[in-house]
Amino acid sequence: MAENVVIRSEARLLIDGKLVEAESGKTFDNVNPATEEVLGQVADASRADMQRAIDAARRAFDETDWSTNHAFRKHCLAQLQEALESERDEYREELILEVGCPRSMTYGPQLDAPLDAALKYPMKLIDEFPWEIDLGEAPGFRGGIDTRKIWREAVGVVGAIVPWNVPLEVTLVKLGQALATGNAVVLKPAPDTPFNATRLGRLAAEHTDIPPGVLNVVTSSDHLVGEELTVSPKVDLISFTGSTATGKRIMEKGAATMKRLFLELGGKSANIILDDADFSTALMSGIAACHHAGQGCAMPTRMLLPRSRYAEGVEFLASMYANVPVGDPQLQDTVTGPVISAKQRERVLGYIQKGIDEGATLAVGGVGRPKGLDKGWFVQPTLFTDVDNSMTIAREEIFGPVLVVIPFEDDDDAVRIANESEYGLAGYVGSASLDRAQAVARRIRAGVISVNGGSYYAPDVPFGGYKHSGVGRQNGLPGFDQYLEVKSVAWPKP
């Protein structure tokens, strides 16, 4: 950690514009996954605290001009952007400590990438979005001519529920879109990674003119506290990123109040390497399953190799996986840091054992600790070969540094295997022929596709999945629009 950086973490909630303790006065520990040491305490909110936050958001939306004052919203978001940037260095150290992400990732998706763009793109759309569309004139029901328009209006109160794997990125994306469109928000961070959210709450309270209640931050060790957002009739939309199982529960619980939903859920993404690809470069994409200990929903965790070059590919991958830099996330060259918790480590190890039990070949890694790492929740980068797509490790999301390698016969077989999954978040295709790669990409049932290493993630690119990988999109115009209602209006032409 940089010597001149002090980690500030307040055990306070942001409710109705004030930084307050939990009503009960209780706190819970935040733990460093690399050392298992306690980093500090966080306010442990109850359901009553969450209800107070929901009430504050409801009042702010219903009783202020936040939803209609575009210029003021842009002003407040610009203030928040400036405040966040003022503590970029502190955020970098804090994320490494509480998330366990390798330092190198903070210069990309964990910090710098979202901080540089996640709020700025929605701020730009405040000026450019078609808030009102003129449909022209048409004959009215009672004779005469009617003028007809479409107005876009904020949905209302948004419950934003954030996961622990890339917490600040997901938080900023949700807040940027929800606040820029005029909604009030109750933010519920994951219990494993609350500090980045409490820091944001403090910055918003102390450095912005965001009206009381428009943004609330509620931390809790109890996942059911977040469920108050799902069942409350005062919350209009749930924006959730996390597991498919939890997403299904949110859909079920939210049905009673007809919740609008954005759900960005799990994945088991296929990485198809066609037989004409340059293996020396295409197979390097296999290390992506080890970045941040494999804790990413869109990571290419199923690699599909042509049977005609399978042995060649496996040999290359085994050599690469045996040399993945794993260990201290403070080091710049670390690729695989710890998983987030002891519970997650046991879950990943359980999947590795199941892969062995079901007959896959364990080529690299296994259920032991990486050498020299006696503390921290580390898992060895693990490579399975001779995997059948029906095996558990090929079908379920592991969320650990585990790559499974599956052979295929031809392009049709590769597409069949890729689509033979309940998930459909991302897909990857590598080929010497762009036309061939694009033809395969068009047949993959997934929301985002990388062809020959192309990057599908940016603030202006819609991101989300097919099938059990979610409902709706974040980013881009579709992501912005999902936080809005559509109102059609007409009146007689004078």
- Active-site residue list: 264, 297
Count of C-beta atoms within a 10 Å radius of residue 4: 6
Q: Which two tokens stand for residue 462?
A: 């819609």
**421 and 393 Cβ atoms separated by less than 8 Å:** no
**226 and 149 Cβ atoms separated by less than 8 Å:** no
Task: Please state, in angstroms and rounded to a whole number, the distance separating the CA atoms of residues 261 and 235.
Answer: 11
Residues in the chain: 494
Q: Which of 159, 160, 164 is nearest to 42 (CA)?
A: 164
**389 and 406 Cβ atoms separated by less than 8 Å:** yes
Beta bridge partners of 304: 272, 406
Nearby residues of 1 by Cβ (< 8 Å), 6 or more positions away: 7, 93, 96, 97, 330
Q: Which two tokens stand for residue 317?
A: 């991958």
Task: Please state, in angstroms and rounded to a whole number, the distance separating the CA atoms of residues 217 and 224.
Answer: 16
Q: Which of 337, 320, 319 is nearest to 328 (CA)?
A: 337
N- to C-terminal Cα separation, the chain: 69
